[in-house]
Structure 1
Amino acid sequence: MAEWQVQEAKARFSELVERARTEGPQTITRHGRERAVLLSIEDYRALLSLQPDVRALLLGGPKVGGFSIERDSDTGRRSHMG
C-alpha cells in the first residue's frame, strides 16, 4: 500500500484519487503515523458487501421451533420459620 504525507496528498490529490482507483488503497500519514486510507469506490463497496446484515444473521440462525424444556417439579428448599 502506497504512503502519502498529508501535505503531498493535498498537493497531488487528483493523482492520489487515480492511484487509489488503479493501484488500490493509499495510506495517508501525518508526522510519520498512519492517519487515513483512501479507497476507490469499488474497494469501498466491496468492503460494505462483507458486512453481515445483523437482522438476516439473527433470522437465519438455527430454527428452534418445537423445542421443549423439561423442568424438575422440585421448587427448591422449604422455608423454616420459627
Structure 2
Amino acid sequence: MTSASKTSWSVANAKARFSELIDKAKSEGPQTVTRNGKPTVMLVSVEEWEKRTAPKGTLLEFLQNSPLRGADLDLRRLADQPRDIEL
C-alpha cells in the first residue's frame, strides 16, 4: 500500500508520523492504528466525528417513527402494595 492511500498505521509508524496521520484523517477519512497487527484505535477528524455522532432528528420524530406507534400496549400501573422488608 502506498503512502498516498494509507489508512492503516502501526503504533510505531503513527508515533513517528503523527502529523501526517492527522492530515490523512482530515483529508482521506478515518485512519486505523494497529498494535501487534490488530486494529486498535481509529483516528477521525472532528468534522467526521460530529457528522457521525450528530442527533438524527428530535425525540418527538423518533417516537413518531417508532414501529410501536399505535401498538395496543397496556401502560396501566399495578396497584400492588410494596412488600415489607425487615431491616
TM-score, scaled to structure 1: 0.63
Report deviation, 1:15: 0.6
Name which of 5, 16, 21 aligns with 2:21: 16
User: Relative contact order, CA 8 A, sep 6+: which one is greater?
Assistant: 1
Q: How many residues align?
A: 64
What one-letter code is carried by the residue in structure 2 that aligns with 1:39?
Answer: V
Identity across matched positions, percent:
36
Q: Which stretches in structure 1 are left out of the alignment for 5+ residues?
A: 70-82
Report which of the two structures shows the higher radius of gyration computed on alpha carbons.
1
The normalised TM-score by structure 2 is: 0.59
* Alignment partners' CA distance in 1, 2:50 and 2:70: 32
Residue 52 of structure 1 and its aligned partner are, at CA, apart by 5.1
- 2:9 equivalent in structure 1: 4
